[in-house]
Amino acid sequence: MSSIKLNTGQTRKLQLEILDLLVEFDRICRKNHIRYFLSCGTLLGAVRHHGFIPWDDDADIEMLRGDYEKFVTVCNEDIQKDKFFFQDSSTDSEYSWTYGKLRKRGTRYIRPGQSHLKQKDGICIDIFILDNISASTKIQRFMELSTRVCRKILWSKVGALRATCAWQRMLYKLLCIFPHNCILTIYFYIVEWYRDKPTGWLGFFNTEVRTKRGYAFSSCWYENSKECMFEGHGFYIPNGYDKILYLKYGDYMTFPPVEERRGSSPAEYIRFSDGLEINGG
């Protein structure tokens, strides 16, 4: 099944579902005095559009490791269980990613090549984690490469179907033999090397993000936060948002060419909370 090409109305419908998740996430964090920051395209949307980038189809959050762990601890008690659920490797034994997701009950969101996975799905927001990282670029590269290998192994059940080359699909099939719990243990061991050693730098190991500085962000950019209006709601962004966005996107206030204006999280099947279903052609 191919990826869905959402029209403007469908994209907006998805964004409003995601907005419900952001509001619930913000409510839990405010209640428990937990720091978070809008991230990636969601941060860009907040600064440039005061809402979603018109063609965006997902939402991202960043949290420091300690804040993330606090969120995981309080979430099960404070979340509106009839509408939402939190998912990571501690709450879903079939979940193989290295970060958490807040998902909306009664919905489905299946990405290409993932319909066979046993993990729970649904429209979601991604909750990424920032970890202390060495100031040494050599150690940064080693940590990034090591964690990337771990992520590729965890992704192998998808790669075995989605990789474009036959030899790559064969390699991913071989990588499937590694127990994902073992790989997650290795991943978490690496990213927490500098947990109690503030270095002035933070690493982003959840997915592939390379900036002009390499793989690190100055921790001072995340020391404080400010409220920014997003779709009529106040959400938090890091005080160093300008430098962060510049590192990731360059001249971020300039719109990309029309041919590049597309979402980053394609799906092959979506079911909205009102029951509407969309399938890839």
pLDDT in tens, 52-92: 999 999 999 999 999 999 999 999 899 999 999 999 999 99
In the chain, the number of structural domains is: 1
Whether 3 maps to a domain, the answer reads no
Whether 75 maps to a domain, the answer reads yes
Whether 2 maps to a domain, the answer reads no
pLDDT for res 31: 97
> With left for phi above 0 and alpha for psi between -120 and 50, is residue 113 left, alpha or beta?
left
**pLDDT < 70 positions in the chain:** 1, 209-215, 281
- Residue count of the chain, please give it: 281
Residue from 61, 70, 69 nearest 23 by CA: 61
Whether 36 maps to a domain, the answer reads yes
CB 1 within 8 A of CB 269: yes
pLDDT for res 42: 97
Q: Residue written as tokens 């937990």?
A: 34
The domain containing residue 142 runs over which residues?
A: 8-279
pTM of the model: 0.93
Whether 1 maps to a domain, the answer reads no
127-148 burial: b if 16+ Cβ within 10 Å, else e: bbbbbbbbeeeeebeebbebbe
